[in-house]
Each structure stands twice: as C-alpha cells, then as structure tokens.
C-alpha cells in the first residue's frame, strides 16, 4: 500500500494553516519548534507572531536581556526553554549557525532535524511523538517529505489514546485500526505542585523585584539554579 501517497494526498486537503509553514527562515522555525515543545499550537501561534515582531533575527534576540526574554515567554510554560533559545541566539549571533545544530543550547536531535527539513529542505524526517506513534502503529517508515503531514495526522486523527480511525487516510491497511490505548504516563497535577510554586514566584518577580525574606525559599533556590532569577542583596529579580 502507498502509505506515503495516501498521506500526502490527505495533507493536501487537510493541512493546518500554521504561520511557520510559510517561511524557510531557520531562526523563525527554531523559535516555533522550541515554543511547541509541550505547548498547544493554539497558544503558540499568537506568541510566535509577537516574538518575531519584537525579535525578528537571532541578532535582535541576542541583544535582549535574559529578563526581557523571560517576561516575553510568560504563559508558555517551561521557562528554561526561553533561556536556551536566548543562549542559542547569542551563539548564532557570535559564531553563525553551526554545522551540527545540536551544538546550540537546548537543541536536541528532533529540533535539529526539524530545522534542517523545514528550513533547508534536507531529506531528513523529524521524528517527534506524533510521528513515532504513526510509524509504530502502521509499521511503515515514511519518507522525509511526509514530515508535516505526519505531524498533522498525529495531532488531529491518530491520537494517543482514541485514534479517529474512521477519518484516517491510512486506516484501510493499518494493522492497528480500531485499537484504543492507555496513556503512557500521567502528568502530575499542576495545582498545588512545586511546579506551580515556581511558576507563581516567577510571575511575581517578572513584575518587579521582590524581597527575598517574603518568598518561597525552596522555589527561589530552584529558579536561581536554573538561571531564571538572581539574588540582588535582599531582593530577587530577573537576570539582566
């Protein structure tokens, strides 16, 4: 069965309208990929557009302070991604794009492959959770040209727990058709968690420096360790 052909035909009709698919700028694509890590597409779209309007190039982002970058990231979660993106921009501004993109801070194998594929058109398939799921369920190794289509199929049809097999262009020959799945792992609750305490503290300090004595010291220590805040005498503030 021509899985690739069926998938690409479906994608030509059903592709999501995502703004980063209209550019080949490796920086813009890098920003999108970092923002999309563990964050829903709908939340990312307006933030990606605003980010590129403010910092349209790696040089522009490199000139920003870490504190401004952290403030701009608020609401996207996992704030260390912002610092890594900032550090990557500074490395690019100083040395240019490295031959091996995983040399950039925070860039792993998937993100590097995504930039190579979507920005430079290289014949490499970026394998994220969605792509891996479809490969395992179909038992098929898809061609690099199928990258975006696989991501859309995994995000909208071949879902993690209850896939929508009746809508899938690959269902007729898929050996996993009709199966249901248990979640691989359950996300720990955010409410009342240490993650929430960290996030609350970071939002507070993002507004203005705060007195150390009045703050959650365990959360402060964790944020300092991650480079997200600094101790300035008796105050905690964002890094400058």
| Residues involved in catalysis | 33
Q: 52 and 31 in contact (C-beta within 8 Å)?
A: yes
Could you tell me the CA-to-CA distances from 179 to 2, 62, 130, 158, 218 in Å, in that order? Answer: 22, 48, 16, 11, 44
Would the CA dihedral through 59, 65, 69, 71 be positive or negative?
Answer: negative
107 token code pair: 């860039």
Q: 131 and 150 in contact (C-beta within 8 Å)?
A: yes
Residue bearing tokens 């479809």? 134
């Amino acid at each position: 069965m021509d899985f690739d052909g069926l998938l690409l035909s479906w994608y030509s009709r059903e592709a999501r309208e995502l703004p980063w698919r209209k550019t080949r700028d490796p920086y813009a694509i890098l920003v999108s990929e970092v923002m999309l890590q563990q964050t829903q597409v709908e939340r990312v779209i307006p933030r990606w557009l605003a980010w590129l309007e403010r910092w349209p190039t790696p040089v522009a982002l490199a000139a920003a302070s870490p504190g401004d970058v952290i403030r701009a990231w608020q609401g996207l979660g996992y704030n260390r991604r912002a610092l890594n993106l900032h550090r990557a921009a500074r490395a690019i501004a100083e040395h240019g794009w490295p031959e091996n993109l995983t040399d950039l801070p925070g860039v792993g194998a998937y993100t590097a492959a995504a930039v190579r594929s979507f920005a430079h058109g290289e014949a490499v398939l970026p394998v994220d959770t969605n792509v891996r799921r479809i490969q395992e369920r179909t038992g098929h190794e898809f061609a690099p040209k199928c990258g975006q289509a696989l991501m859309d199929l995994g995000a909208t049809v071949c879902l993690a727990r209850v896939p929508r097999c009746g809508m899938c262009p690959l269902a007729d020959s898929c050996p996993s058709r009709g199966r249901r799945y248990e979640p691989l792992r359950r996300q720990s609750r955010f409410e009342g968690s240490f993650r929430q305490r960290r996030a609350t503290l970071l939002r507070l300090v993002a507004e203005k420096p705060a007195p150390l004595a009045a703050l959650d010291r365990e959360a402060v220590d964790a944020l300092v360790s991650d480079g997200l805040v600094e101790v300035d005498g008796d105050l905690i503030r964002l890094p400058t």
